[in-house]
Structure 1
Amino acid sequence: MPDTADPLVLDFVEWIAREPRAYAEVVATWKTSCPRLTIWEDAADRGYVSREAIVGFGLVIAVTEAGERLLREHGRTQ
């Protein structure tokens, strides 16, 4: 049985899994004024997404192997 995961973190990882996203897009899309709602930071801290610098493009957020495994475990495969 898979571990219980935060549904918003799952939504976020699934959204990133569709295609790597520019850091600015992630911040703009998942920005919140609530300090307790840190969805994308939680996903990064748990190792589900990573930040990668790509020359000529900038900082990109992409799903890690752990993030792909999380999606599979919760029936959210690509």
Structure 2
Amino acid sequence: MTGSADALVLDFVEWIALKPRSHADVVETWRTSCPRLTIWEDAADAGYVARRPAAGGGVIGVTEAGAQLLRDNGRVVS
């Protein structure tokens, strides 16, 4: 991974790993006005996070690829 956007993707995946989040929480917390800075969409496109069914709607959680990304970069996987 290179660049500040990649570092933010790593931060985002780590944030999701702490606790699966609702889609609304993700959009609210990681919203940006810059069309080139699509952190959570980039993480989803790379397969690091995915929406999972849950009571009351879906949640965004870390995939095995996302957990591996965290391990590869010395981040804690819960």
Question: Is TM more than 0.5 here?
Answer: yes
Q: What is the distance in 1 between the residues matched to 2:54 and 2:48?
A: 19
Q: Does 1:52 align with 2:52?
A: yes
- TM-score, with length taken from structure 1: 0.90
Number of aligned positions between the proteins:
74
Which structure: greater strand fraction?
A: 1
Q: Residue 8 of structure 2 corresponds to which residue in structure 1?
A: 8
Q: Residue 62 of structure 1 corresponds to which residue in structure 2?
A: 61
SS at 1:25 equivalent: helix
Identity of aligned residues (%): 66
Q: What is the distance in 1 between the residues matched to 2:10 and 2:33?
A: 20
Q: Residue 35 of structure 2 aligns to which amino acid in structure 1?
A: P
Q: What is the distance in 1 between the residues matched to 2:68 and 2:25?
A: 24
Stretches of structure 2 that go unaligned for 5 or more consecutive residues are none
Q: Residue 41 of structure 1 corresponds to which residue in structure 2?
A: 41
Deviation at 1:40, TM superposition (A): 0.1
RMSD: 1.0
- TM-score, with length taken from structure 2: 0.90
SS at 2:37 equivalent: coil
Stretches of structure 1 that go unaligned for 5 or more consecutive residues are none
Deviations 1:12-42 (A, max 9, x none): 0000000100110000000011100000000
SS at 2:58 equivalent: strand
Q: Residue 8 of structure 1 aligns to which amino acid in structure 2?
A: L
Runs of 4+ in structure 1 deviating by more than 6 angstroms, as ranges, are: none
